[in-house]
């Protein structure tokens, strides 16, 4: 799986679990104040789509530019895959951890009697 694909899947998992929690579980809130402000302005669904797309695009831009710069500096380019591994891997692990946490919050909320969203 490519780094970009992994980043996209883990970010979408984060967005999906966040969205379900925000819409269907009372007391769930967005901890990031910038994103919370965006949600107040445009709503949760559009806000999640915009924020997720911006994060994926921003990480991809930084990782790919860094990879090219490393390749130019080291003509054999052997460090470019390391840059991609770290650049896509670290955020992907973070989004996976957040998704697992969010899933735990959702399960806990359902056990406490919250309405099932589907």
44-59 per-position pLDDT tens digit: 999 999 999 999 999 9
Per the domain annotation, does 53 fall within a domain? yes
Query: pLDDT digits over 82-93, tens only?
Result: 999 999 999 999
Per the domain annotation, does 14 fall within a domain? yes
Residue 78 binned pLDDT confidence (cut-offs 50, 70, 90): confident
Residue count (the chain)? 118
Q: Specify whether the CB–CB gap between 51 and 18 falls below 8 A.
A: no
Q: Specify whether the CB–CB gap between 106 and 23 falls below 8 A.
A: no
Per the domain annotation, does 89 fall within a domain? yes
Q: Quote the pLDDT of residue 1.
A: 63
Domain of 56 in residue numbering reads as 3-111
Per the domain annotation, does 104 fall within a domain? yes
Per the domain annotation, does 116 fall within a domain? no
Strands (E), the chain: none
Measured at the CA of 87, the angle between CA 82 and CA 91, to 5 degrees, comes to 140
Per the domain annotation, does 117 fall within a domain? no
Q: Quote the pLDDT of residue 75.
A: 76
Task: Work out the mean pLDDT of the chain and round it to a whole number.
Answer: 91
Q: Quote the pLDDT of residue 36.
A: 94
29 φψ region: left (φ > 0), alpha (ψ -120 to 50), beta (else): beta
> What pTM was computed for the model?
0.87
Distance CA 118, CA 110 (A): 12
Q: Specify whether the CB–CB gap between 29 and 113 falls below 8 A.
A: no
Q: How far is CA 108 from the centre of its chain?
A: 22
Per the domain annotation, does 22 fall within a domain? yes
Domain count, the chain: 1
Residue 62 pLDDT greater than 60, yes or no: yes
């Amino acid at each position: 799986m490519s780094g970009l694909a992994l980043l996209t899947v883990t970010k979408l998992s984060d967005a999906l679990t966040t969205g379900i929690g925000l819409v269907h579980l009372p007391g769930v809130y967005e901890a990031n104040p910038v994103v919370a402000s965006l949600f107040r302005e445009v709503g949760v669904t559009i806000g999640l789509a915009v924020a997720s797309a911006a994060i994926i695009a921003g990480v991809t831009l930084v990782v790919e530019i860094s990879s090219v710069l490393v390749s130019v500096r080291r003509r054999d380019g052997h460090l470019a895959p390391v840059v991609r591994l770290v650049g896509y891997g670290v955020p992907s692990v973070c989004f996976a951890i957040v998704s697992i946490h969010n899933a735990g919050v959702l399960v806990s909320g359902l056990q406490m009697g919250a309405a099932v969203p589907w």
